[in-house]
Amino acid sequence: MSGALLPLVLAFLVSLATAGLVLRLGILDHPNARSNHVNPTPRGGGLGIVLGFLVALFFIPVAAPHDLAALTGLALCTVLAAGLGFLDDLLTLSERLKFVCLTLISLALAGMAGPVTELGLALPWLVGWLGSALFVFTLANTVNFMDGSDGLMTAALIPAALTLAWLAPGATGLAALALAAALAGFAVWNAPLMAARGKLFSGDVGSLGAAVILAGLALMWASNGPATSVWLVPLLVLPLLGDVLLTMAARVKAGASPFVAHRSHAYQLLIAMGASHRKVAVIWGAMSLVCGALALLAAGLPPIAAPFVLLVAVLVFAVLHQRWRRLARAAGVETRQ
């Protein structure tokens, strides 16, 4: 088996087997006010994503010393973020403790995998470091918030990881492929393929772990890649990031707190209107594929085109998001719940 193929096969198989073992152990997610399920369902299957990726990482050939250092830092931060998520899955940690821990992990990862200090003009290292950490922190919370419908997280993150693998050179690109393979292994249990619902939830261990991995790889590429990369990274995760930020903005506009647990994300409104989890996953997967295609297109255009491509994608998504909210209100669905 070639050196490039072995990590991908290992990532898929380790993720598949680990998630299957977690399913048998039966760590249950009991429904609450924010849940989209009514029956207790096993969770923590995202541990497979993390272990699959970390095992694959040992077999990825790394030539450049700075790539080795960045990937080592990414592995460490992934373990910390996934460990934080796993403890929260088991014990339900305080929000303040999670905020502090995730902030420290984001700062550490931004320093080791980045930071991005070029936005068309040179930024001071401190500004780039804090901005990169904010990206990690925001993406981790975004994926965690959006991981509430079967198959949605993997449907959105697999295209993002595959696009990053196409764009990023060397070990970074191969690591992104390994992430996609690990996500696919977990999706066998989580995606609503053969039934209306998946069998296993990711849990915070998977959402935080996968988000930190993707954020770290994106920073590795953006900090050493072409000038367009800083605009293409948010495009890869726009369907997730856009729903969270636009929902928060809508809640603030309506006089509701954006930080209180709610069920007013666009994907939750679609489910409340009768859309199946499979349909929601297909919608977010399709949007992620389109965003990936736009990123590949923008990467081949002059650098000045990248921010405009991102802006157009943001505007189109904002229109879709607003339309879904209007449809929900017309159907009698509470959009501030």
| Average pLDDT over every residue of 216-221 | 97
Neighbours of 1 (CB within 10 A): 10
User: 194 pLDDT exceeds 80?
Assistant: no
Predicted confidence (pLDDT) per residue in 252-265, tens digit: 888 777 777 778 89
Q: Was 144 annotated as part of a binding site?
A: yes
Tell me the percentage of the chain whose pLDDT exceeds 70. 94
Q: Which of 16, 79, 244, 18 is nearest to 147 (CA)?
A: 244
> Is residue 204 part of an annotated ligand binding site?
yes
Map out the domains of the chain as residue ranges: 5-330
Q: How far apart are CA 96 and CA 86, in angstroms?
A: 16
Higher pLDDT, 99 or 122: 99
- Give bridge partners of residue 122 from the DSSP assignment: 118
Average pLDDT over residues 73-81: 98
